[in-house]
Amino acid sequence: MDLIIAKDYEEMSRAGADIFADLLRNDPSAVLGLATGSTPIGLYQSLVADCDAGRISFADVTTFNLDEYCQLPVTDVNSYRYFMDHNLFDKVDIDPAHVHLPNGNAPDREAECLQYEDAIARAGGIDIQLLGLGHNGHIGFNEPASDFPVITHVVDLTPSTIDANARFFDSEDDVPKQAITMGIGTIMKARRIVLLASGEGKADIVARSAFGPVMPSVPASVLQLHPNVTVIVDEAAAAALPRA
Ligand code: GLP
C-alpha cells in the first residue's frame, strides 16, 4: 500500500487526479471505477480542468460507479447518477453510452446486481477504482459485517451511514434505507485502487483501515491485501497514523 500525505484537501485532490490523468494519457480507453461523496469532488474538478485544457479526454473511457441508492429517482439531486452528471459527466467529453451506475430502481434488483457484475467483466474489468471512506470504514456501501460481500449486491444501510448522509437530504427519513453496491470482491478485482480521505473526522478510520487488523467489521481494511493501492490523505486525516 502506498501512502501519500497531502498538505490539504486541494493537494489531495490534485494528487488523486494526477493518477487518473496519467492513466488516461497512457490508456485513453481505460475502464474507470468511480465514487461519490464529498471527498472526490475536488478530484473531479481537477479532471474537468484537465479535460477543458485538452490534457486528457474521456471520449473513449468507460466508467462504472460503485453504488446507487435504491428507490430514489435518478433525477433526484441526491441520486448518485445526478451527482456524477453534475460533477463530471456533463462537464467532459464522455460518451453517455459508456457510463454505468447500478439501477437502484430496477424491478428485479438481484438480476440488476448480476447484470452489473457481468457488464464490468465484459468491459474487461476495472483498470482503476476510486474510493472514498465511510466513517465506519465502508467502501462503496459495503457496511461493517461479519463477512466480506463478494459481488454487487443490495445492502441495508446502517444507521450511522444514514445519519452521515442525512446532511444531503431534507430529513433523515428521506435518506434511502437500501442501496446497490459493488461487492468487496468486485472492488478487489480492480487492477489499481486509489482511496481518498480528508479531514480529522476520518483520521481514526484511516488508521484502522490502513494499519489495523484486516476484518469485515472494518471493510476498508481488506485493501491491505490488494497489490496496488494508493491511499491519499490530507494532514488532518493522517493525524492518527503511526508516526513511523
Ligand atoms: C457514501 C458513499 C461512499 C463514500 C462515503 C463517504 O456512503 N457510498 O462511496 O465513500 O459516502 O462520503 P464522504 O466522502 O462524503 O465522506
Coil, strand or helix at 39: coil
Distance CA 27, CA 160 (A): 39
Q: Identify the pLDDT of residue 244.
A: 60
Distance CA 55, CA 236 (A): 31
- The atom number, within ligand 1, closest to the CA of 199 reads 16
**Best of 9, 12, 13, 39 to mutate for ligand 1, by most ligand atoms within 8 A of CB?**
39
- Residues annotated as catalytic (active site), given as ranges: 67, 136, 138, 143
Please tell me the chain's helix, strand, coil percentages from 3-state DSSP, rounded to the nearest 5: 40, 20, 40
Smallest CA separation from ligand 1 atom 6, residue: 134
State pTM to two decimals.
Answer: 0.97
One-letter amino acid at 59 equals: A
Coil, strand or helix at 7: coil
Determine the distance separating the centroid of ligand 1 and the alpha carbon of 69, expressed in angstroms. 12
Asked if 103 and 68 touch (Cβ cutoff 8 Å), the reply is yes
Which of 180, 229, 178, 179 has its CA nearest to residue 206? 229
- The atom number, within ligand 1, closest to the CA of 201 reads 16
Cell 441495508 belongs to which residue?
156
Determine the distance separating the centroid of ligand 1 and the alpha carbon of 141, expressed in angstroms. 8
Which of 85, 119, 101, 117 has its CA nearest to residue 185? 117
Determine the distance separating the centroid of ligand 1 and the alpha carbon of 196, expressed in angstroms. 10
Q: Identify the pLDDT of residue 243.
A: 74
Which of 116, 114, 144 has its CA nearest to residue 221? 144
What is the full per-residue pLDDT of the chain (244 aa) written as tens digits? 999 999 999 999 999 999 999 999 999 999 999 999 999 999 999 999 999 999 999 999 999 999 999 999 999 999 999 999 999 999 999 999 999 999 999 999 999 999 999 999 999 999 999 999 999 999 999 999 999 989 999 999 989 889 988 988 999 999 999 999 999 999 999 999 999 999 999 999 999 999 999 999 999 999 999 999 999 999 999 999 987 6
Distance CA 206, CA 135 (A): 9
Q: Identify the pLDDT of residue 207.
A: 98
Determine the distance separating the centroid of ligand 1 and the alpha carbon of 199, expressed in angstroms. 13
Coil, strand or helix at 83: helix
**Best of 36, 133, 195 to mutate for ligand 1, by most ligand atoms within 8 A of CB?**
36
